[in-house]
């Protein structure tokens, strides 16, 4: 009787639960890979094989690139040599992969914001937004290169144009964010705060109708 029922079910293309289990086991055997033995492996460094002189030279350079406060610098300087070496290795990998500290990127950004038609189209807004991200996330030497190339002055010129022309509130907000990013850097903060013209232009952005510009200004 059971065999007859099974034959009838197969005629209607039905599958028994046993067949489902067998098929599932077959799929699991075919597509599920064994666990990677290195997946949960913790890598450590042998302090005896580390070159302390090289670490002592390279680590202060890393701290300078991070542009940390004296308190945070001291905290990292007190770390064991294994931790310092791991930080150096990680930062070198990030720098090589993402171009951190590459002054040529700063030069390229400056070329783009110097174009006379930058404010003529909303399509160019992404350039200012990308510049803000780069100034916010790049290294100290990158921001220093941007400032030395006259980046702060160029941003000031662009921002001064925004109140004179309608429809540039979004551009002004992006430029203000760039100034905020500069203020997060020691060298950028010095350049911005030492220029009365730049501070006046930033303050004048409050006359724009955009609430975002006003909010950004008051959190400076």
pLDDT in tens, 68-115: 888 888 998 999 888 888 888 877 776 676 666 677 888 999 999 988
Of the candidates 63, 106, 109, 68, the residue with the CA atom closest to the CA atom of residue 84: 63
Helix, strand, coil tally for the chain in percent (to 5)? 75, 0, 25
Could you give the CA distance from residue 172 to residue 162 in angstroms, rounded to a whole number?
Answer: 6
Of the candidates 135, 139, 95, 84, the residue with the CA atom closest to the CA atom of residue 113: 135
Q: In whole numbers, what is the pLDDT of the chain averaged over residues?
A: 78
Domain boundaries, the chain: 1-11+36-100, 101-219
Q: Does 25 score more than 60 pLDDT? A: no
CB 112 within 8 A of CB 118: yes
**CATH T-level topology, domain 101-219:** 1.25.10
Q: Does 120 score more than 80 pLDDT? A: yes
Could you give the CA distance from residue 71 to residue 2 in angstroms, rounded to a whole number?
Answer: 80
From first CA to last CA, the distance across the chain in angstroms is: 84
CB 118 within 8 A of CB 124: yes
Predicted TM-score (pTM) of this structure? 0.65
Share of the chain above pLDDT 90, in %: 35
CA distances from 102 to 134, 135, 152, 175 (A): 11, 12, 18, 22
Dig out the tokens for 172 from the structure.
């002004």
């Amino acid at each position: 009787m059971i065999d007859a029922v099974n034959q009838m079910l197969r005629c209607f293309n039905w599958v028994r639960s046993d067949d489902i289990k067998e098929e599932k086991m077959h799929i699991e055997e075919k597509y599920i890979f064994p666990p990677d033995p290195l997946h949960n492996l913790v890598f450590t460094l042998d302090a005896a094989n580390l070159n302390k002189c090289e670490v002592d030279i390279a680590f202060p350079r890393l701290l300078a690139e991070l542009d940390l406060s004296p308190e945070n610098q001291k905290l990292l300087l007190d770390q064991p040599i294994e931790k310092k070496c791991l930080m150096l290795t990680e930062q070198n990998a990030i720098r090589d992969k993402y171009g951190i500290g590459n002054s040529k990127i700063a030069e390229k950004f400056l070329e783009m914001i110097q174009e006379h038609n930058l404010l003529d189209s909303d399509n160019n807004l992404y350039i200012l937004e990308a510049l803000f991200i780069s100034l916010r996330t790049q290294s100290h030497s990158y921001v220093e290169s941007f400032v030395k190339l006259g980046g702060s002055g160029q941003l000031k010129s662009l921002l001064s144009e925004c109140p004179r022309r309608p429809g540039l509130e979004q551009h002004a907000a992006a430029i203000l964010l760039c100034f905020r990013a500069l203020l997060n850097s020691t060298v950028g903060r010095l350049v911005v705060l030492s220029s009365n013209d730049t501070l006046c232009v930033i303050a004048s952005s409050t006359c724009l109708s955009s609430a975002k510009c006003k909010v950004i200004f008051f959190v400076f």
